[in-house]
């Protein structure tokens, strides 16, 4: 590969190891500096090929979430990912948290639309990050009249006022 055709940050594939990395610069004319998993490697240019990252697929989980809204909801929402969307169990924690937050918001919107008086949101005990997010989200809805910890701190009961 001609290193002069690369820009810093371009994705490349190292043929010999099949690793994907980013171009960070060059040493001389034939040695490229490639960053792979936060480590820099010196790779001869003939061992490189350009690589295009695959486009992220739209996940059905988010589409399904929109389609299910406002039909009928249960009196509680369990945000444990195993219950909410088992196929995301192995996803990155940031993606799981993002999905849980979106599900919580949609659930609250549906509960308000259906004029529910009370619901329970099960966030679990864990690190407390999801609990903090849920409590923050509750503050965004003027219809939320009161909330109180439930299930020994692993859930929150929510009261609405219309």
Give residue-wise pLDDT tens across range 116-149.
999 999 999 888 899 999 999 998 999 999 999 9
Kindly list the domain boundaries of the chain, sorted by start residue.
3-50, 60-160
Structure tokens at 118: 């009370």
**What CATH number should be reported for the domain whose range is 60-160?**
3.30.1370.110
Q: What is the value of pTM for the model shown?
A: 0.57
pLDDT, one tens digit per residue, over 27-48 is 988 999 999 988 999 999 999 9
Per DSSP, what are the bridge partners of residue 158? 119, 147
Secondary structure tally for the chain: helices H, strands E: 4, 9
pLDDT (mean) for 16-24: 92
Does domain 3-50 bear CATH number 2.30.30?
yes
User: Is residue 70 scored above 70 in pLDDT?
Assistant: no
| Torsional class of 146: left (φ above 0), alpha (ψ -120 to 50), beta (otherwise) | beta
Cα distance between residue 45 and residue 38, in whole Å = 20
**Rounded mean pLDDT of the chain?**
88
Cα distance between residue 91 and residue 97, in whole Å = 10
Phi, psi (degrees; rounded to nearest 5) at 150: -140, 175
């Amino acid at each position: 590969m001609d290193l002069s055709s690369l820009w810093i940050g371009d994705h490349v594939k190292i043929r010999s190891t099949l690793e994907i990395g980013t171009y960070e610069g060059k040493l001389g004319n034939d040695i490229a500096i490639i960053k792979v998993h936060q480590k820099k490697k010196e790779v001869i240019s003939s061992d490189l090929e350009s690589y295009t990252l695959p486009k992220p697929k739209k996940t059905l989980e988010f589409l399904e979430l929109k389609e299910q809204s406002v039909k009928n909801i249960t009196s509680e929402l369990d945000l444990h990912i195993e219950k909410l969307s088992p196929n995301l169990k192995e996803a990155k924690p940031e993606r799981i948290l993002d999905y849980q937050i979106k599900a919580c918001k949609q659930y609250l919107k549906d509960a308000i639309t259906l004029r529910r008086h009370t619901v329970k949101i099960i966030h679990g005990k864990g690190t407390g990050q999801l609990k903090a997010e849920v409590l923050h989200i509750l503050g965004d809805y003027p219809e939320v009249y009161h909330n109180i910890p439930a299930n020994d701190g692993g859930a929150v009961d929510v009261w609405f006022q219309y």
